[in-house]
A and B are shown apart, each in its own frame.
Chain A
Amino acid sequence: MIEDVSLEVEVGGVRLSHPVLLASGVLNETAHSMIRVVDVGGAAGVVTKSISLDEKMGHRNPTVVELPTGLLNSMGVPNPGMEEYSKEVLMFKERLPQTPIILSLYGESVEEFEKLARAAKELPVEAVEVNLSCPNREEGGLTFGTRPEMVYNAVRAVRRGFPRGVWVKLTAQVGDVVEVAKEAQRAGADALVAINTLKGMAIDPLLAMPVLANKTGGYSGPGIKPVALRVVWELSSSEEIYIPVVGVGGIETGIDAVEFMMAGASAVEVGSAVRSRGIEVFRAIMDEIRMFLIENGYSSVKEIIGLALDVEKAMSREEVI
């Protein structure tokens, strides 16, 4: 017997046909790749590469190290700048007018964030994702994301300039992520995205030097999943946070996604898993979520959001089954 379940979710002002999105930083420099990620890959929507006001060349190679537990990258936010990248956004929307595109913004000052937000307002994007946590550049990035008052100022600036969904991407590398998230929320964020890559390093023992040209980089993939899950759970279980959370960090399977949603995520983003499971990973995860829901008697994916926040509730469900 084939039962059907609803996979639709709504998060931060964006309606999604299912909860699996492309994360920023993977296959989103060109419109063609983002279109392929949706058409061939099955993603419900895409987050773009982080875009700055002016063109950035990125770091020299090596920029990526493959690890047994994920990836380490230090691309250095290469992007052609807001004006040039607008063409990619327009091309994407021309081909896929119904598919949500969330524009990731990378500013190095509050003023830059406001200018980026105003430019984004003129584009057909459903939401913006404020990148306040990239570990790969000296300016902006982590400098913003680890300081609550800076987070407030940056998000406030984006909120002033952009009238639709404002998502804020957080780092796990702070003592109390809820304190930072509260500032984003107070500044007008519509959703939180957790987590960005963790700052890490790889050393080649024979050459006795860091592998990445930038020395340090952002660690992503299965190795960071427990950290990401913990942050999503902390944000979702805080009584002071009432805006939705998007989970990202090490999601490779539908079961990973289910765990994030049970920890409170309304949707998930997938990036590094493109390496291990190919571009079709988005549809595969969606199918695996659906299979889990059917096998466990759920009729909508919304039913599992936050289930693991209340252990008592989860146990009583267990008894029913």
Chain B
Amino acid sequence: MGRWPDREVVRVVDKWEEGRDISSMKVVSEREAWGEFTPGQFALLWIPKVDEIPLSPADVKEREQGWEILFTVKVVGEATKVLSDLGIGAPLGLKGPLGRGYELDYRGKVVGVGGGSGAPSVLSALFKAEREGGRGVLLLGAKTVEELPYRDWVGELGVDVRYSTDDGTLGKKGFVTALLEEMLEKELEGDEQFVVCGPEVMMVAVRDMALKRGLNVQFSLERYIKCGIGICDACTISGYRVCRDGPVFPLSTILKMEEFGKVKRGPSGKRELL
């Protein structure tokens, strides 16, 4: 707070395709605030003349020129389409980091469970654990192999990554929760810290598994975010502001949210059943 102008103009410095309608891009910020980035936090990316959308970075690294931030974008509408089509050098407005991220002991064991567009958020936790001497396992799920990002390069960085696809085109056939269940059956040591981000139906399943087995899980929620600073109420779930109190919440808070897994709000604030 208090930084002004609140949006910094950054440029796309690198960009590549990750899969069908999914691309990754890097921007460089000169703002010191990114040095305090906690995985799970998000940024508002302003695509001039189009819209401004919340995205959780997949990684933030210190470089000579500033903070290099990695974003992964899946095309779901106009703004993400334009963002995906931007070329290197294109300007963007960047505001962040915003919200509260995962509170973890990054020297310990971190298990990330990511579904669909939740992959970047959990990957950022794994990268941090890797850098700080912790251990990590990343479980990623998607409908089909072409919708799984990072598979070309993330293994080379030392991240133990396992995949699931609904159609069995890569990794375990089925939902990522089946992959998680398999891991819990075979490898659970008891000191794992789980972070999960993805479709809410998937997170409901993880919540239930966490309750059954007494797992330590933090959930990163997705809602319709407008202001990003906790005043407009657009992203609120059962009184918790996803943009300010979250997007990451511990299991104990998730259990207090009667709307979790059931209700979200549209742009007008109208209730929509999930």
Contact = CB atoms under 8 A, between A and B. Distances in A.
Contact of A204 (B5, B53, B229, B238): B5
A186 interface: no
A84 B93 CA distance: 35
Contacts of A33: 233, 236, 239, 241
Given A27-B231, A62-B46, A62-B52, A80 B268 contact: yes
A75 interface: yes
Interface in A55-109: 55-58, 60-68, 71, 73, 75, 78-81, 84-85, 87
Contacts of B49: 209
Interface stretch (A146-154, A166-174, A250-258, A272-280): A272-280
B91 interface: yes
Contacts, number: 130
A87 B227 CA distance: 24
Contact of A29 (B44, B53, B236): B236
> A interface, by DSSP: helix, strand, loop or mixed?
loop
A57 B267 contact: yes
A81 B238 contact: no
Contacts of B271: 80, 84, 87
A220 B186 CA distance: 57
B8 to A, nearest CB: 9
A71 B226 CA distance: 14
Contacts of B233: 26-30, 33, 49
A170 B228 CA distance: 28
Given A33-B233, A78-B268, A207 B9 contact: yes
Interface in B119-157: none
Nearest to A273: B231
B236 to A, nearest CB: 5
B230 interface: yes
B188 interface: no
A29 B228 CA distance: 15
Q: Taking each of A56, A62, A65, A202, which has the highest tally of chain B beta carbons within 10 Å of its own beta carbon?
A: A62
A61 B231 contact: no
B15 interface: no
Contacts of A209: 48-49
B48 to A, nearest CB: 5
B6 A55 contact: no
B9 A206 contact: yes
Nearest to B8: A206
B53 A61 contact: yes
B17 interface: no
Interface string A260-289: 000000000001101110000000000000
A207 B239 contact: no
A66 B229 contact: yes
A84 B1 CA distance: 34
A67 B3 CA distance: 8
Given A32-B239, A207-B93, A272-B231, A66 B269 contact: no
A35 interface: yes
B274 interface: no
Contacts of A274: 230-231
B236 A62 contact: no
Contacts of A49: 233, 269
B232 interface: yes
A304 B54 CA distance: 46
Contacts of A56: 268
A30 B235 CA distance: 10
A64 B268 contact: no
Interface of A: 25-30, 32-33, 35-36, 49, 55-58, 60-68, 71, 73, 75, 78-81, 84-85, 87, 202, 204, 206-207, 209, 211, 213, 271-272, 274-276
